[in-house]
Chain A
């Protein structure tokens, strides 16, 4: 019998435990649908705000041996125009999670409600973008703000609400607790690590924004540790993110306590087939080890 690779994150039903991470191939309906068709269990949109935003000037990406730095700066078409993109993805059958940012709790709630009216099946709160001035960073650095922003969105939302937490804090479990207190239905962890790359020839940071977010294999051990700590601290489901490129990588997160994993930078190394590949690698592991389901492995690394 084929092992059961489906996942359920706070009522969001996924055919497999892989999701497209926010920020990757998710600004337009056509690519969201293409990624879903390529095998993702769900796709998370670009973080959407109340107004269109062009983001930072290039260079916005630095490729590294161990992953990637990015400082896109939250480019997005704004909530008004984004309805047409969500429609394309939903009409094609995709499971869509709307990612939201704003400058205050009201804006988060307004954008989340708008995305919900377009039909997204869950809301992810970007509380932790390390490269957009005055938006995500301050929220990510204060547990009380995480609680407040989550509660504001939860007050209006009918679909599951999942705050995405920053690893750039000393005690991520405290932030997870704050999110849970605010009514979070699930927690997504982690966002990118604040980082920098400098050109020795030019003696200057490469990113135009100077500081960006590190993603890819380099941060996987950090992400796995964060998910492990969050699992011990809260009862709500967890979605793990950071450096997943293979089934084994996904299993680390699942065993640490994640119901599902998100993949972004892995697109650059394995292409769009990464979702189907990771899923089949997880299924193969279940078959080899006599496991019945992904769900039965969640948190199994805790003694």
Chain B
């Protein structure tokens, strides 16, 4: 089994006021879409997508609870525990790909945006946030291909939600691959758009997670393990899912509305 490494943060970058990127050196592998378990000592251990691959890896974290708020106070040199990477990876094939990200969901698919581009696939990204100030990784998306910005409040780009802009962009080119990550209702709408058009789609899901290695049953989606079978699921898998877009499990394992 993989052992936890305790590593110093080499660099901390504030992306927007509540979201930062934390870089660290690790010999662990890592492919687009995979995640690691990050131990914030004294607080919690939480799953985080790798937003940077290579020797100096990175995670991009939005503060939403005790552990992530604690992590956002960390600076270069502070120690975190990391283990992984875990989960499956995005299939990066096709001639033209559309990546649809909502909020900090871009952290889970930025490696796929760049991975498509590296493999010679033309990439369009729909980058959506609540407001202009919360847009993350716009430059990295622009370096990889074409970028379409949407904000809920209309302060930048398209005034509206990501799926509405994605629908428009899907009409502009012939896409043969779509990847998405963001709030689950957004992903559900994107998956439906793709299923209607017969375009292969992959969505990166999030569930409450404990072990990360496919044994504890905390993160189930129907009978699938988000940590091991996922976090990436295809449109075909999600079309058959009872839970997707509707239910999650709480910390005691009870099925509750999303």
Q: Which residues of A come within 8 Å of B, CB atoms?
A: 23-28, 30-31, 33-34, 46, 52-55, 57-65, 67-68, 70, 72, 75-78, 81, 84, 199, 201-202, 204, 206, 208, 264-265, 267-269, 271
Choice from B42, B81, B252 contacting A54 with Cβ under 8 Å: B252
B215 touching A24, Cβ below 8 Å: yes
A61 touching B212, Cβ below 8 Å: yes
A-B contact pairs, 24 of them (CB 8 A): A23-B216, A25-B215, A27-B253, A31-B223, A53-B252, A55-B252, A58-B45, A60-B216, A61-B213, A61-B216, A63-B3, A63-B4, A65-B3, A67-B1, A68-B1, A75-B251, A77-B252, A199-B41, A206-B39, A208-B44, A267-B215, A268-B1, A268-B215, A269-B1
Q: Which residues of B come within 8 Å of A, CB atoms?
A: 1-4, 6, 37, 39, 41-42, 44-46, 79, 81, 83, 210-218, 220, 222-223, 225, 249-255
Instruction: Give every chain A residue within 8 A of B42 (Cβ-Cβ).
Output: 204
For the complex formed, measure the closest distance between the CB of B39 and the CB atoms of chain A, giving whole angstroms.
6
A78 touching B252, Cβ below 8 Å: yes
User: Closest B-chain residue to A61, C-beta based?
Assistant: B211
Interface class of chain B by DSSP: loop
B210 touching A204, Cβ below 8 Å: no
For the complex formed, measure the closest distance between the CB of A35 and the CB atoms of chain B, giving whole angstroms.
9
Bound-complex Cα distance A75 to B249 (A):
12
A63 touching B39, Cβ below 8 Å: no
For the complex formed, measure the closest distance between the CB of A66 and the CB atoms of chain B, giving whole angstroms.
9
Bound-complex Cα distance A113 to B44 (A):
36
A24 touching B46, Cβ below 8 Å: no
Instruction: Give every chain A residue within 8 A of B222 (Cβ-Cβ).
Output: 30
B220 touching A265, Cβ below 8 Å: no
For the complex formed, measure the closest distance between the CB of A197 and the CB atoms of chain B, giving whole angstroms.
9
B252 touching A25, Cβ below 8 Å: no
